């Protein structure tokens, strides 16, 4: 069988060797992290080490880390009108978010649908800050307090949002700020303190940890979102349910490696991605690079061959040995028009052709070469058919 090239890290990254070792070792051990016997205390110590490793990845205090089962659960935990700060109840009347968020945020979760306001983005997918200002001012004038949730980087395009600026503006109106960093974590350096956001979501399987773990990290560990479900007092009463110790420990191991490598990986992976993009654009002038000229993750490329449906391109490249995604692939595997590209005003004909290549820790030069070879084999036939249609 020919070697495959995996360019779908934004969907799920391969498990890193150190995470795999940590997972297997912890699976083989016994111990509920809440038990007081020695097995339990060992599990607790491992979870707390992972807590420090995940906190370091985003430059936060380990006490703010609330382990969850995935990024979606972390977003769900954050998006609630009801918080406590110490013994003081805080409530938020409206959720302000952007049109390009992942569906894990866009649905607004525990905010009623009519309390969710979706803010527009510009043609490059960046939040229109003047619209944020106007919404904050409007709600404040009406006596409504806002929770603002703006992603750090987009899963389809890699576009990085001005979250620091969002936090500064929102805090002027006493709003709370959440950012979904599920795609940004491990791909660019992150400091929660520098960003100034109050809450940040991350997910293990995007950084080379095992599936089954995520985290919501709170900058001020006294701030507590209303729990999603009731039960035991795990995670200091912030997330009930026995901790998934093996996945959490693997998450910690992946976070530690990603943190240690991130500065170098930004350069290495950026060069791989840029190499693929420039070779493709030179050989196939018909190929459209969506959002090339904006601050974006170094690993993500969003490309379209107008007239060739994205799923056709994904299948042709898959047969040629390369795994990448249709830009708008949703969790069910069905492909519909991308809400992200639509919000950016990308014409539907181009949006329907958009595919996403995403690199990561396991990618190397050989992947770029193999991907180029696959594009060379697949694209001429696809182009001929698109012209004949």
DSSP-derived secondary structure for 343-361 = HTT--HHHHTTEEEEE--T
For the bound state, the minimum distance from the C-beta of residue 149 to ligand PLP, rounded and expressed in Å, comes to 11
For ligand PLP, the closer of residues 13 and 47 by Cβ is 13
Closest Cα partner for 112 from 138, 139, 80? 80
- What are the angstrom distances between the C-alpha of 332 and each of 14, 262, 284, 335, 385? 20, 31, 31, 9, 28
From 49-57, 66-74, 107-115, 269-277, give the range in contact with ligand PLP by CB under 6 A. 66-74
From 176-184, 227-235, 261-269, 358-366, give the range in contact with ligand PLP by CB under 6 A. 176-184
First to last CA, the chain: 34
Contact between 72 and ligand PLP per CB under 6 A: yes
For the bound state, the minimum distance from the C-beta of residue 364 to ligand PLP, rounded and expressed in Å, comes to 23
List, in order, residues 6 or more apart from 176 with CB less than 8 Å away: 83, 90, 92, 146, 147, 148, 170, 198, 199
Closest Cα partner for 206 from 152, 272, 163, 243? 152
For ligand PLP, the closer of residues 107 and 145 by Cβ is 107
DSSP-derived secondary structure for 27-55 = HHS---TT--SHHHHHHHHHHHHHHHHHH
For the bound state, the minimum distance from the C-beta of residue 151 to ligand PLP, rounded and expressed in Å, comes to 5
Within 84-201, residue ranges assigned H as helices are: 103-106, 129-141, 163-171, 192-195
Contact between 262 and ligand PLP per CB under 6 A: no
Contact between 363 and ligand PLP per CB under 6 A: no
Contact 209, 246 (CB under 8 A): no
Contact between 183 and ligand PLP per CB under 6 A: yes
Closest Cα partner for 240 from 251, 250, 227? 227
Tokens representing residue 91 in the block: 């409530």
Catalytic residue among 70, 282, 302, 330: 330
Per rule CB under 6 A, count of chain residues that contact ligand PLP? 14
Among 31, 71, 125, 327, binds ligand PLP (CB under 6 A): 71
Binding mask 75-94 for ligand PLP (x = CB under 6 A): x-------------------
From 26-34, 71-79, 253-261, 301-309, give the range in contact with ligand PLP by CB under 6 A. 71-79
Contact 200, 216 (CB under 8 A): yes
For ligand PLP, the closer of residues 243 and 368 by Cβ is 243
Contact between 214 and ligand PLP per CB under 6 A: yes
Among 47, 54, 70, 127, binds ligand PLP (CB under 6 A): 70
Count the neighbouring beta carbons within 10 Å of the beta carbon of residue 239: 24
- What are the angstrom distances between the C-alpha of 251 and each of 188, 200, 314, 360? 17, 16, 30, 16
CA 22 to chain centre: 23
For the bound state, the minimum distance from the C-beta of residue 75 to ligand PLP, rounded and expressed in Å, comes to 6
6 pairs with which residues across the strands? Answer: 323
Contact 291, 123 (CB under 8 A): no
331 pairs with which residues across the strands? Answer: none
Residue 330 is among the residues annotated as catalytic for this protein: yes
For the bound state, the minimum distance from the C-beta of residue 204 to ligand PLP, rounded and expressed in Å, comes to 7
Contact between 325 and ligand PLP per CB under 6 A: no
Binding mask 102-141 for ligand PLP (x = CB under 6 A): x-x-------------------------------------
Nearest position to ligand PLP, beta carbon:
71
From 67-75, 139-147, 243-251, 338-346, give the range in contact with ligand PLP by CB under 6 A. 67-75
Residues that bind ligand PLP (CB under 6 A): 70-72, 75, 102, 104, 151, 155, 180, 182-183, 203, 205, 214
Instruction: List active site positions.
Output: 330
């Amino acid at each position: 069988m020919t070697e495959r090239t995996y360019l779908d890290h934004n969907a799920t990254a391969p498990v890193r060797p150190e995470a795999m070792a940590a997972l297997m070792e912890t699976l083989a051990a016994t111990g509920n992290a809440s038990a007081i016997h020695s097995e339990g205390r060992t599990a607790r110590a491992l979870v707390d080490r992972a807590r420090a490793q995940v906190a370091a990845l985003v430059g936060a205090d380990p006490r703010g880390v609330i382990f969850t089962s995935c990024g979606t659960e972390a977003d769900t935990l954050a998006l609630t009108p009801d918080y406590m700060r110490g013994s003081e109840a805080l409530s938020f009347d409206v959720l302000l978010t952007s049109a390009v968020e992942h569906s894990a945020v866009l649905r607004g979760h525990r905010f009623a649908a009519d309390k969710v306001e979706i803010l527009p983005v510009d043609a490059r997918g960046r939040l229109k800050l003047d619209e944020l200002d106007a919404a904050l001012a409007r709600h404040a004038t009406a006596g409504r307090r806002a929770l603002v949730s703006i992603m750090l980087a987009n899963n389809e395009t890699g576009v990085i949002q001005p979250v620091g600026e969002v936090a500064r503006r929102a805090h002027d109106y006493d709003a709370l700020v959440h950012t979904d960093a599920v795609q940004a974590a491990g791909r660019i350096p992150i400091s929660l303190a520098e960003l100034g956001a109050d809450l940040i979501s991350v997910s293990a399987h995007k950084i080379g940890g095992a599936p089954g773990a995520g985290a919501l990290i709170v900058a001020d560990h006294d701030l507590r979102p209303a729990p999603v479900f009731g039960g035991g007092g795990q995670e200091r009463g912030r997330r009930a349910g026995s901790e998934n110790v093996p996945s959490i420990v693997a998450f910690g191991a992946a976070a530690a490696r990603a943190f240690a490598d991130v500065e170098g990986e930004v350069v290495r992976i950026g060069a791989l991605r840029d190499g693929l993009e420039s070779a493709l654009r030179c050989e196939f002038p018909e190929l459209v690079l969506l959002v090339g000229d904006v601050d974006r993750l170094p690993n993500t490329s969003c490309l379209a061959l107008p007239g060739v449906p994205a799923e056709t391109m994904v299948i042709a490249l898959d047969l040629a040995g390369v795994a990448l995604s249709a830009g708008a692939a949703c969790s069910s595997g069905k492909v519909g028009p991308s809400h992200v590209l639509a919000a950016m005003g990308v014409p539907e004909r181009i949006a329907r052709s958009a595919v996403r290549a995403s690199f990561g820790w396991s990618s190397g030069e050989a992947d770029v070469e193999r991907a180029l070879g696959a594009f060379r084999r697949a694209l001429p036939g696809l182009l001929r058919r698109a012209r004949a249609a």
